[in-house]
Amino acid sequence: MSEKLRAVFHACVPRPIASAIRNLRQTLHLYKDSVLQAHRYNRNYSRVASTELTQLETRIMFLSHQIEKGLSHSDFRYGFGRKVFLELPAMLKSLELADSNYEENTVFQESMSALHEYMERHIRAGKDISWQKSLFTNEQWNRIKSANPSRGGSIVIRRSTKANNSLLPYAQLNEHRHSVREFSDEPVDVNLIEQAIDMAMRTPSVCNRQPTRVHLILNPEIITKALAIQGGVRGYAAPPALILITSDLRSFITSYERNEGFTDGGLFGMSLLLSLESLGLASCPLNTMFTAKADKDTRKLLNLPDNEVPVMYIEVGNFLEETRTCASVRYTGNQITTVIK
């Protein structure tokens, strides 16, 4: 609408009607833009049987991460990962075809390292992995045998290394933080968690509207039920504390701000993870990528108001004296940066 038309509109149309028209326009935009967003997602996400390189890398990373999680488990279950083994060999083959330099590929190397550790630990314990071996070609198996073990797999985290966390410079604290999924039995100091939440309040947000909300769950029964719905840490004991980060939709003004709560909530989540780490607490972020049913069940369990949307969970507890976690190697900054000149 031109400036002139807008002026005429405001002069002639009573305010309540003008507001109703503006709100209707926003509603139409919301549905139209959401459909366009769904189309883009549908065109690009990594479906089963993808052959494009990044999509393949995504699926291989997902599967290798399952192996890394199994390798990190204190209750090591020999022969774990059968579903992963049914998919991974063919995908690694497809990656070889999609990337001529696949031996230098970060995801390929991580997968090889994780499989190498899997193989070593089974052989060392005298366990039979002939079924797993039968799924790979000889060439693949030899590559796994000779893989560099430092590109993936599991790493050890020691509580003793966390004593001076509050004194670490940012770069070191950041490098030093890892998600851990197993916690000591001691109760967690709620004052420390509250201190970490206060520290995370320095997180920036759009127009400083601060849409993030925090639900600190300390009831063991509710934590267990919430994680059973979430499903991403099956097989692990429940943590002593669970945080749900949500975003309050009332903080937004227009239809095109509809995703902003996830951005602001995500930033808050990262601040909170580092704050917890600096205070010597162990943590693991967990997704809230819920189906409609999981969303409904979680809302009911936690009594979440309709105006809040889940952004992520964070498990919190004390470090065990020693625990393993996924190496979760990273791409380099260069690999993900496009410079626009």
Contact footprint for ligand FMN (CB under 6 A): 178-179, 181, 232-233, 284-287, 312, 325-326, 328
- Residue 106 CA to residue 24 CA, distance in Å, equals 48
In order of 29, 73, 107, 252, 287, the CA distances from 262 in angstroms are 19, 30, 27, 12, 12
Between 37 and 287, CB nearer to ligand FMN: 287
DSSP-derived pairing of the beta strands 322-326 and 282-287: unpaired
Residue with tokens 């999680």: 69
Minimum CB–partner distance for residue 64 and ligand FMN (Å): 10
Asked if residues 245 and 314 have their Cβ atoms less than 8 Å apart, the reply is: yes
- Residue 57 CA to residue 269 CA, distance in Å, equals 26
Residue type, 224: T
Residue type, 101: N
Between 112 and 227, CB nearer to ligand FMN: 227
Between 233 and 316, CB nearer to ligand FMN: 233
Between 243 and 326, CB nearer to ligand FMN: 326
Minimum CB–partner distance for residue 21 and ligand FMN (Å): 39
Between 140 and 325, CB nearer to ligand FMN: 325
Between 94 and 154, CB nearer to ligand FMN: 154
Asked if residues 278 and 168 have their Cβ atoms less than 8 Å apart, the reply is: yes
Between 136 and 196, CB nearer to ligand FMN: 196
**Pick from 192, 188, 252, 247: nearest CA to 223:** 188
* Secondary structure class of 239 (helix, strand, coil): coil
**Pick from 234, 237, 190, 198: nearest CA to 216:** 190
- Residue 141 CA to residue 240 CA, distance in Å, equals 41
Minimum CB–partner distance for residue 180 and ligand FMN (Å): 8
Between 285 and 317, CB nearer to ligand FMN: 285
Minimum CB–partner distance for residue 114 and ligand FMN (Å): 12
Minimum CB–partner distance for residue 285 and ligand FMN (Å): 4
Between 129 and 270, CB nearer to ligand FMN: 270
Minimum CB–partner distance for residue 313 and ligand FMN (Å): 8
Minimum CB–partner distance for residue 332 and ligand FMN (Å): 15
Asked if residues 286 and 313 have their Cβ atoms less than 8 Å apart, the reply is: yes
Asked if residues 289 and 309 have their Cβ atoms less than 8 Å apart, the reply is: no
- Residue 293 CA to residue 171 CA, distance in Å, equals 40
Asked if residues 135 and 173 have their Cβ atoms less than 8 Å apart, the reply is: no
Secondary structure element (H or E) that encloses residue 44, with its range: helix 15-44
Minimum CB–partner distance for residue 26 and ligand FMN (Å): 29
Q: Which residue is nearest to ligand FMN (CB)?
A: 232
Minimum CB–partner distance for residue 99 and ligand FMN (Å): 22
